[in-house]
Amino acid sequence: MNTSRRATLTLWSLLASTALATQGLGAQVGPEAEDPGVWAPPSFGLRVGLDNKRRRNVVGAQVRLPIVPGGEIELMPSVDVTFLVGLREYQYNVEGVYVWDGRAGGLYGGGGLGFRNSVFADGAGRKTELGYTAVVGFRLVGLGLIVPQLEYRWVFVDAAPITYQQLTIGVNLALWRPVRRP
């Protein structure tokens, strides 16, 4: 089994284990967490990780904007920089994600559009290509305004010889407390 497949299998196992382990946490947040009059908070944050195919470091930033009051659907624009030898690749994403437990956090998944700025062929100049993205992740709510996350993203760009894969860990700062405690 190659390293890429092993990393992907490890990530899926980690996400599934975490989801199963946290199924009972929703009952502990209290009735205010389900109050339809309280919107899930927008948040912004930073992430670091590894571009799985290039074996290089990735640094990024994102904003999470709830589209519905319960926080189940979010718009998530983001930017990432991959540090290659002699080259920096830039990735701009606009994704929609579904958060299974809404403002209580947990697993999320979705996809959207990605714009990759790089050199895609030998001798060619730098250009930006449109592609598609898919993302899965897990975020832990309940630590006040700090919201950690683990995320895996695929970037599909026709001009690129590979499918980019990023495994990142990040932290977001919510603009208000994500879950109201009794």
Q: What is the pLDDT of residue 150?
A: 97
Residue pLDDT, tens place only, 56-73 = 899 999 999 999 998 999
- What is the Cα–Cα distance from 109 to 93, expressed in whole angstroms? 14
pLDDT less than 50: residues of the chain = 3-4, 7-8, 11, 14-15, 17-33, 180-182
Query: Residue ranges of the domains in the chain?
Result: 3-23+44-174
This prediction's pTM: 0.75
Residue pLDDT, tens place only, 95-120 = 999 999 888 889 999 999 999 998 88
The architecture of the domain spanning 3-23+44-174 is: Beta Barrel (2.40)
